[in-house]
Amino acid sequence: MVLAPGSADSKEKAIEIVGAGPAGLVCAIVLAKANRRVVVREWHQDVGHRFHDDFQGLENWSATQNVLDELADAGVAADFDHRSVTEGIVFDSHAKAHRVHGSKPLFYLLRRGTAPGTLDRALLDQARTAGAEVRFNDRVKRTTSSMILAGGPRRADIIAVGYVFETSMADGAWLAFGTELAPKGYAYLLVHRGRGTVASCMFSGFRDQAKYLGATVEYFKRHAGLEMNTPRGFGGFGNVRLPRTAMQAGNPVIGEHAGFQDALAGFGLRYAMRSGRLAAQSLISGADYTKAWREALQPDLRGGVVNRYLFNQTGPRGIDYLIGKLGSTDTGDALGQAYRLSFPKRLLLPLARFHYRNPLRDRSCSHNNCDCVWCQHGTHEIANT
């Protein structure tokens, strides 16, 4: 029997995908369009439950192919609200503004959450249109065969805390570094069409998140003219690790469930969606998923680990030097080169991995009487995923 594309055989055993994040939904889209019967099981009541209509960036520098073309090749349409960003401002340690720019988009600005126009809602609609069944309030208590695990982050190595707001500011993207703003991380401000997101993205100091967010807001008020109307607080967290196989009991593990995340800056969306596509293609073709992700993802993931090690060893003067270099050349090309696992970085990798084996888990947070993002949301998420 010949089936039309997107028409699964109802007698076929369903492939179950645990989790309806970008990795799981892209996986579902690819499988459903290949006439596989797919059931996505999400224990929350909707997609995008960890997000609050906040702006995020879908990076476009880690590969020569444009990320939207990459999605199109996987059968995923860019029908979510997005805007290409080719330039922005990065502040050095003296609050001097450096304009960074690229000949192609540095990243695509998009929204995350449950609302129409968000990435999460668009992927859900595409998965259903392709023929996938998506079940909400469906908690998986035990894994079985024919599953793909896409349950999201398993711990907090990074947290972001900030505000979404309305504003009369002009569109723009601003980035700042400093231990007073975001320990071992960065602060950012994104504005588009009267809406904005400001946040501190930190790799340490979780317990003092309110202090760092307050400092971030004041910094951007002074140096970027931040104006916020009807601000609404939000928080999120991410998981960074280098998996060995990204398989669990014979099942592919994708997205942040596997630890696929940029160790330097937390730009993990592209890794998540790539891994979803790779897992789907491995089931369709019978290819080895572990081999596939190691070839497609591992070099850049390792490059990110070395970058994180170097960043942690670099003081303000070194970071200022790098910011100046980014502003004096095509920023997209420079970032792409920075994530390549060059020969010198291969030499540094064992040392970087040695330090990396000690989890990035924040030592300042004892998980007792703490109201940081991880303690308020992370432990609950992990216990129930």
Q: How would DSSP label each residue in 219-264?
A: HHHHHH----EEEEEEEEEE-----SS-EETTEEB-HHHHT---TT
User: Kind and range of the H or E element at 197?
Assistant: strand 195-202
pLDDT single digits (tens) 259-288: 999 999 989 999 999 999 999 999 999 999
The pLDDT score that the predictor gives to residue 385 is 31
Sign, Cα dihedral of 383, 258, 237, 156? positive
**Size (the chain), residues:** 385
Contact of 237 with 153, CB cutoff 8 Å: yes
Instruction: State the architecture of 15-82+110-155+239-356 in CATH terms.
Output: 3-Layer(bba) Sandwich (3.50)
The pLDDT score that the predictor gives to residue 145 is 84
119 φ/ψ angles, rounded to the nearest 5 degrees: -60, -45
Q: DSSP letter at 37? A: -
Sequence-distant (6+) residues with CB within 8 A of 175 are 88, 89, 90, 91, 186, 187, 188
Contact of 360 with 240, CB cutoff 8 Å: yes
In whole angstroms, how far apart are CA 165 and each of 110, 124, 231, 261? 15, 25, 4, 27
Q: What are the domain boundaries of the chain? A: 15-82+110-155+239-356, 158-237
The pLDDT score that the predictor gives to residue 9 is 59
pLDDT single digits (tens) 149-161: 999 988 888 999 9
Residue indicated by tokens 């064992």: 350
38 pairs with which residues across the strands?
15
Residues of the chain with pLDDT under 70: 1-11, 356-385
3-state secondary structure of 108: strand
Contact of 215 with 111, CB cutoff 8 Å: no
The pLDDT score that the predictor gives to residue 1 is 41
Question: How much is the pTM?
Answer: 0.91
d(CA 383, CA 149): 15
Contact of 17 with 24, CB cutoff 8 Å: yes
d(CA 107, CA 82): 10
Residue 299 CB: number of other CB atoms within 10 A?
16
The pLDDT score that the predictor gives to residue 6 is 57
The pLDDT score that the predictor gives to residue 11 is 64
> Chain-centre distance of CA 55, in angstroms?
12
Biggest CA–CA distance in the chain, Å, is 68
